[in-house]
Chains A and B, each alone.
Chain A
């Protein structure tokens, strides 16, 4: 991979997406849902970045902005160094082949009236890649890659189980040999026993084909398993971004800590349900509305250690000293305090 030392494959800087709320006498703008409100990250070729957060934090919107299914309100989306944030349809055409998406719901994201062959071959057909028979051969190859029987080329989506449908969606995303895949909750609609199959498949695809991933999910354990680096989002901003081992082993942001301690794991088994309770950090209340986020640090309304400064100044996402790798945190108290350490 010669590109490794050059610029990252994807670089997102100051990304904003505000959805206007209209109302009033002449449908004027009365406000905006600040779904993504200043997000920076980058993904290197062949690497994966996990994006975690609770519903409404803006992680899915971020994914759609990166795939340019949405146009950003502000900021830059640089793909191979070129800003595609406001690129026209024509300019986007070559980029679209290289950035593909995998969606959450394998039931609604496949056209029920098309055969699997048509669905998977659609990206090839649209681009008139090769002859019809070459395309058919390629589709069969893709079906085999994702673990489906190539003979099922002429079947319809309803003849497949949820896990198999997700494989179809993956095959479609792979058709144009993308360099980056945005996977938006790719396993959360699947049964527990199937999720691992799909995670393994995505991992295999990532390694074998060297595809970079933006892996969006709410399940912290799955994100950890899949992603080299992980970003935690809260109310439209990234609050912490670090290498996987750093983020899960030494979380610095109080929100990340709370998220991690809230994950119920099946391994304790003391039976009385008490053991895990002791070390848990409990957040009170719900996530505030992105229409009118709190002043200063957005997490302060639920933060167990909020101080006066948190209400006045928004903490920037800054590096903190760590043993390994890069670790960015947006918290006024992210530096380990001498007394507490």
Chain B
């Protein structure tokens, strides 16, 4: 187990390194120049050069990247302004430390991710289980049709319609947005309901379909027949024996989705104007804010890598035949 963790964490560091390098060099391959934005109307080549120098982007690329890397591990000096490790630099736009902004934005993303993940897992797996047990019956057909509709809907479409109906017209829900759950739990919950529902509607279908097909397969397994032959109740057969075997594909998808959400649900956060990592990423790309882009990319990649480690660990918990190496 320890060996597994060490191996996977080392692998994760390598992946993050590669991703950061690719992002960094891709940024400079783009034609946009971050200095142009702060240079304004009366921009002269001299002024532009000064800004370039101030932003530190006049140096050779490998050198810049090296400074970025050392900053993460050892801290970094920005013209007299010390940025202690882990230093992700200062935003080109608001000149705040990137790390502070990320930490500031992360709770909103975490709220959206965890709530939506819990809700969509419950709804999706629940629907799938019911459909599998009643396969061929009306419940099965109706829920699978509903899933098809859900899976075909886009977040910005459903989100905007739902917001218009539930918030603006019927006024059943408050405006979506993030408030700290510690300051005002009620407001936090109210502001999160719509993003959660939206993400659930769009994603739960996948879980329902995976759970259903996986359950149907597992119910045909010999060991499920054995469980019945042992005289277990239908419930015992379904839940204790069949469901456990049917979990694996669900866990895989869930890990990926959770990783994606934690890296910032881009469209959802933009649609509902929630200031999380996702919206931050979209904004920083629009502003050519390199340090911030690097920050959000690293958050997203870290979330993904950690989720995949967690998924593999979950396999081992579910299935004793899986060895963690």
Cα of A89 to Cα of B7 in the assembled complex, Å: 38
- Check B137 for interface membership: any CB of A closer than 8 A: no
- Check A325 for interface membership: any CB of B closer than 8 A: no
Cα of A24 to Cα of B325 in the assembled complex, Å: 6
- Return chain A residues, CB-CB under 8 Å to B3: 25
Cα of A24 to Cα of B323 in the assembled complex, Å: 11
Closest CB in chain B relative to A209 CB, distance in Å: 42
Chain B residue with Cβ nearest A30:
B325
Cα of A334 to Cα of B3 in the assembled complex, Å: 49
Cα of A25 to Cα of B7 in the assembled complex, Å: 7
Cα of A320 to Cα of B3 in the assembled complex, Å: 53
Cα of A23 to Cα of B7 in the assembled complex, Å: 12
Produce 1/0 per residue, A19-44, CB < 8 A to B.
00001110000000000000000000
Cα of A9 to Cα of B109 in the assembled complex, Å: 73
Cα of A98 to Cα of B81 in the assembled complex, Å: 80
Closest CB in chain A relative to B13 CB, distance in Å: 15
Cα of A23 to Cα of B325 in the assembled complex, Å: 7
Cα of A24 to Cα of B3 in the assembled complex, Å: 9
Chain A residue with Cβ nearest B323:
A23
- Return chain B residues, CB-CB under 8 Å to A23: 325
Number of interface residues of B (CB under 8 A): 3
Chain A residue with Cβ nearest B10:
A25
Produce 1/0 per residue, B1-23, CB < 8 A to A.
00100010000000000000000
4 example contacts (A-B, Cβ-Cβ < 8 A) are as follows: A23-B325, A24-B325, A25-B3, A25-B7
- Return chain B residues, CB-CB under 8 Å to A24: 325
- Return chain A residues, CB-CB under 8 Å to B325: 23-24
Cα of A193 to Cα of B214 in the assembled complex, Å: 37
Closest CB in chain A relative to B166 CB, distance in Å: 51
- Return chain A residues, CB-CB under 8 Å to B7: 25
Closest CB in chain A relative to B79 CB, distance in Å: 43
Chain A residue with Cβ nearest B7:
A25
Closest CB in chain B relative to A76 CB, distance in Å: 36
In chain B, residues 3-45, which have Cβ atoms closer than 8 Å to a Cβ of chain A?
A: 3, 7
In chain B, residues 298-325, which have Cβ atoms closer than 8 Å to a Cβ of chain A?
A: 325
Closest CB in chain B relative to A340 CB, distance in Å: 47
In chain A, residues 21-75, which have Cβ atoms closer than 8 Å to a Cβ of chain B?
A: 23-25
- Return chain B residues, CB-CB under 8 Å to A25: 3, 7
Cα of A102 to Cα of B272 in the assembled complex, Å: 64
Q: Which 4 A-B pairs have the closest CB atoms?
A: A23-B325, A25-B7, A24-B325, A25-B3
Closest CB in chain A relative to B71 CB, distance in Å: 30
Chain B residue with Cβ nearest A23:
B325
Closest CB in chain A relative to B325 CB, distance in Å: 5
Closest CB in chain A relative to B6 CB, distance in Å: 8
Closest CB in chain A relative to B246 CB, distance in Å: 25
Cα of A101 to Cα of B166 in the assembled complex, Å: 69
Cα of A172 to Cα of B7 in the assembled complex, Å: 49
Cα of A25 to Cα of B6 in the assembled complex, Å: 9
Cα of A25 to Cα of B8 in the assembled complex, Å: 10
Closest CB in chain B relative to A334 CB, distance in Å: 41
Closest CB in chain A relative to B185 CB, distance in Å: 46
Closest CB in chain B relative to A87 CB, distance in Å: 36
Cα of A23 to Cα of B3 in the assembled complex, Å: 12
Cα of A314 to Cα of B238 in the assembled complex, Å: 52
Closest CB in chain A relative to B323 CB, distance in Å: 8
Closest CB in chain B relative to A142 CB, distance in Å: 38
Chain B residue with Cβ nearest A24:
B325
Closest CB in chain A relative to B208 CB, distance in Å: 31
Cα of A107 to Cα of B160 in the assembled complex, Å: 53
Chain B residue with Cβ nearest A22:
B325
Cα of A232 to Cα of B175 in the assembled complex, Å: 79
Produce 1/0 per residue, A261-293, CB < 8 A to B.
000000000000000000000000000000000
Cα of A66 to Cα of B232 in the assembled complex, Å: 50
Cα of A7 to Cα of B252 in the assembled complex, Å: 58
Chain A residue with Cβ nearest B6:
A25
Closest CB in chain A relative to B128 CB, distance in Å: 30
Closest CB in chain A relative to B8 CB, distance in Å: 11
Cα of A25 to Cα of B324 in the assembled complex, Å: 11
Closest CB in chain A relative to B42 CB, distance in Å: 59
Chain A residue with Cβ nearest B3:
A25
Cα of A270 to Cα of B3 in the assembled complex, Å: 60
Chain B residue with Cβ nearest A25:
B7
Cα of A10 to Cα of B264 in the assembled complex, Å: 66
Closest CB in chain A relative to B312 CB, distance in Å: 15
Closest CB in chain B relative to A288 CB, distance in Å: 21
Closest CB in chain B relative to A30 CB, distance in Å: 10
Closest CB in chain B relative to A291 CB, distance in Å: 15
Cα of A25 to Cα of B3 in the assembled complex, Å: 8
Cα of A33 to Cα of B213 in the assembled complex, Å: 36
Produce 1/0 per residue, A191-213, CB < 8 A to B.
00000000000000000000000
In chain B, residues 208-263, which have Cβ atoms closer than 8 Å to a Cβ of chain A?
A: none
Cα of A25 to Cα of B325 in the assembled complex, Å: 7
Cα of A24 to Cα of B7 in the assembled complex, Å: 9
Cα of A131 to Cα of B325 in the assembled complex, Å: 56
In chain A, residues 95-145, which have Cβ atoms closer than 8 Å to a Cβ of chain B?
A: none
Closest CB in chain B relative to A116 CB, distance in Å: 31
Chain B residue with Cβ nearest A26:
B7
Closest CB in chain A relative to B321 CB, distance in Å: 15
Closest CB in chain A relative to B76 CB, distance in Å: 33
Closest CB in chain A relative to B10 CB, distance in Å: 9
Closest CB in chain B relative to A26 CB, distance in Å: 9
Closest CB in chain B relative to A223 CB, distance in Å: 30
Closest CB in chain B relative to A23 CB, distance in Å: 5
Cα of A111 to Cα of B122 in the assembled complex, Å: 42
Closest CB in chain A relative to B269 CB, distance in Å: 39
Chain A residue with Cβ nearest B325:
A23
Cα of A25 to Cα of B4 in the assembled complex, Å: 8
In chain B, residues 129-149, which have Cβ atoms closer than 8 Å to a Cβ of chain A?
A: none
Closest CB in chain B relative to A28 CB, distance in Å: 11
Closest CB in chain A relative to B7 CB, distance in Å: 6
Cα of A23 to Cα of B323 in the assembled complex, Å: 10
In chain B, residues 163-199, which have Cβ atoms closer than 8 Å to a Cβ of chain A?
A: none
